Structure 1
């Protein structure tokens, strides 16, 4: 009997009000995109578009065809709502204005 070796991984997706982590057991050689499809997260969250969504493992961006290893956590990232540089600039301006008014 020739059994395929398996690994344990997780697929994670988060919204502001809800976070989901789906544990899976997959065959060695499974890619990020295959794990996402197997997890059922695409059916659970229709707004996920794998063609435009950034994906990664433990906070590090990875290509969809990256093969997974034991205990990897696949993450699907949502787009940023605000530009981080613009947000920092606005906070700095506000802080400067508050300091001048004192």
Structure 2
């Protein structure tokens, strides 16, 4: 299975890393990066249905001490796109904007 990061996913990932580097410790960054790596590995193994269902083709997983939700979508039988990372302390209405 191929896993591809969207532009928004890359940007939101970098924003979260930057936030963690300013406000938390190196350990928190490591936990976040390790969680992302683990989920991407599981997605590559085809374990898409393991995660919380948002809609028919979109799923999500809580990562980084449960403060960030990672959204991803099955694009085809062989590809999953990472859509974005969402800091759960934000306004939840922003998720709808990002999913459009």
TM-score by length of 2: 0.30
Q: Which of these two proteins has the greater Rg computed from alpha carbons? A: 1
Q: Which has the higher helix share?
A: 2
